[in-house]
Amino acid sequence: MPDLPRQFTIRESRHHVHNPFTEEKLATLGRALYLTPGTRLLDLACGSGEMLCTWARDHGITGTGVDISSLFIASARARATELAVEDRVHFVHADAVGYVAENPVDVAACLGATWIGGGLHGTVDLLRRSLRPGGMLLVGEPYWRQDPPDQTTVERCHARTRDDFSSLPELLSAFGEMGCDVVEMVLADQDGWDRYAAAQWLNTRLWLDQNPDDELFAEMRAELDEAPVQHVLYQREYLGWGVFALMDR
């Protein structure tokens, strides 16, 4: 079974949410969707399972999370036990690429991992394969807050070209072109980016202190040297992120 590169799990080993959504934003999204007890949710690339676990606790949903990281799946199962929802949520250690639920679900989600479908369009199509008629898709996706002025900015925001991401109006239009109504959205803010990125710095520093002889030490040390300044220069200023609730027309 493939797994995430260790660099990624070092950075995010203690994250509950593996994107710039705060726990408060995740709760806002759950309330905005008027979730009812028994709602069935599939979360592809679920990370540490915070959405499923907290929504099971707060709204009585049931569901399945799938993630390629053995560390994150273990964290998700522990979180379900901590919140006493292990009878409502189930976590699968598997590659989410091509994963389809055995039975149709009410909500199919992929928050911030649209590479599992080869991009935004492919991921929407993949999620549709698990969705009951009239169900809802949740897609988390970056967008340009400001148009990047140069290629350096593009690359520091984890893109290859400017066209890898859209502006927010372009992104909403793209959902319409896929035959979807956008029925809700909750957007991350700069504080959310700070919480996501800065937690990576602390995780990395603690790992460095504990693993001076690890083969990744020099790489992670060099990354931490640059990461705070690069974050405030580029990602924090130019890159937005949001979760968009979609229903087929």
What is the tens place of the pLDDT at every residue in 18-42? 999 999 999 999 999 999 999 999 9
Q: Are the beta carbons of 181 and 246 closer than 8 angstroms?
A: yes
Mean pLDDT of 83-100: 96
The gap from C-alpha 241 to its chain's centroid, in whole angstroms, comes to 10
Alpha helices per DSSP H over the chain = 6-11, 23-32, 50-59, 70-82, 120-128, 151-156, 168-177, 190-210, 217-230, 236-238
Residue 139 sits in which domain range?
6-248
Q: Over 90: is that where the pLDDT of 3 sits?
A: no
- Is 1 contained in some domain? no
Domain count, the chain: 1
- Whether the CB-CB separation of 96 and 122 falls below 8 Å is answered with no
Both structure tokens of 79: 């979180």
Cα first-last separation, the chain: 38
CB under 8 Å to 98, separation ≥6 — which residues?
116, 126
Number of other CB atoms surrounding residue 26 within 10 Å: 20
State which H helix or E strand residue 63 sits in. strand 62-67
- Is position 241 within any domain? yes
Sign, CA dihedral 16-161-248-188, equals positive
Residue 161 identity (one-letter amino acid): T
In a domain, 149, yes or no: yes
| 74 occurs within a structural domain | yes
**What CATH number is attached to the domain comprising 151?**
3.40.50.150
Q: Residue 2's pLDDT band (boundaries 50, 70, 90)?
A: confident
Given a contact cutoff of 8 angstroms between Cβ atoms, the answer to whether 7 and 216 are in contact is: yes
- Between the CA atoms of 199, 204, 209 and 212, what dihedral angle is there, to the nearest 10 degrees? 180
pLDDT at 1: 64
Q: What is the residue-averaged pLDDT of the chain?
A: 96
Q: Are 136 and 231 in contact (CB under 8 A)?
A: no
pTM of the model: 0.95
Please determine, for residue 4, whether its predicted confidence score (pLDDT) is greater than 90.
no
